[in-house]
Structure 1
């Protein structure tokens, strides 16, 4: 049980640290999140996502969205 509690406490500490950084960098962090999300979406739509490339190398077709 104690190992589970330490993992939970570490996760909470990491989340608190992230929130503190986000609040300190307040004007910019939301733009960073949006930019990363848009880049990831564009990469998926262009078929440049590493997961999609791996599936293509295995001979699988992820679907028409990725074509």
Structure 2
């Protein structure tokens, strides 16, 4: 799995988890969804992604987006 796919998979997982928590636990969990979305937006503009840095340290091979 490449770094790009790992970041997208992690972001999608976090969105689904936060939506489930919003539905079943408390509406304030929607802030987590907004944080993930804003982080994806800024990563697409700046190329800086904390999740990509973490996955890179864990040994995931680089992809084309996050170098």
Q: Same fold, TM exceeding 0.5?
A: no
Structure number having the greater helix percentage: 1
Q: Which has the larger radius of gyration?
A: 1
TM-score, normalised with respect to structure 2: 0.38
TM-score by length of 1: 0.38
With CA pairs under 8 Å and 6+ residues apart, which has the higher RCO, 1 or 2?
A: 2
